[in-house]
């Protein structure tokens, strides 16, 4: 399964109140973690801060295993989104360029 197919599956599973934008064709490799597929979402706040949220899925996982893992992938990215929302905007301005990494192996 391609990154963008996984991303589309994750996107479909989001709760209505989750406000994340899929980032496509994002080629920068922040974690330099070989053997993982990476999918990226962006969360943004009214103050103009955007956070990069990412999921990593082992290349070794089969399509079936990815589908099985989907609920936990969705949960992880939603938790990253919630922690971004929980911060106030002074925190946001401090992390303007930061990212909230997460790993799924
Ligand atoms: Zn903010």
Cα of 81 to ligand 1 centre, how many Å? Answer: 12
- Say if residues 24 and 11 touch (Cβ distance below 8 Å): no
Cα of 85 to ligand 1 centre, how many Å? Answer: 8
Cα of 42 to ligand 1 centre, how many Å? Answer: 14
Position 84 scores a pLDDT of: 93
Cα of 55 to ligand 1 centre, how many Å? Answer: 22
Q: Is 36 helix (H, G, I), strand (E, B) or coil?
A: strand
Q: Is 101 exposed, middle or buried (0-12, 13-18, 19+ CB in 10 A)?
A: middle
Cα of 33 to ligand 1 centre, how many Å? Answer: 30
Cα of 46 to ligand 1 centre, how many Å? Answer: 6
Cα of 45 to ligand 1 centre, how many Å? Answer: 5
Instruction: Chunk the chain into consecutive blocks of 10 residues (it has 105) and report each block's average pLDDT, rounded to whole numbers.
Output: 92 87 69 80 92 91 96 95 92 69 50
Q: What is the pTM of this model?
A: 0.78
């Amino acid at each position: 399964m391609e990154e963008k197919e996984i991303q589309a599956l994750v996107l479909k599973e989001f709760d209505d109140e989750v406000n994340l934008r899929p980032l496509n064709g994002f080629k920068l490799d922040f974690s330099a973690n070989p053997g993982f597929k990476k999918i990226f979402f962006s969360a943004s706040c009214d103050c103009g801060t955007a956070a990069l949220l990412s999921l990593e899925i082992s290349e070794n996982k089969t399509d079936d295993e990815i589908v099985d893992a989907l609920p936990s992938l969705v949960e992880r990215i939603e938790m990253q989104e919630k922690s971004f929302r929980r911060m106030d905007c002074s925190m946001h301005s401090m992390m303007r360029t930061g990212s909230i990494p997460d790993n799924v192996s």
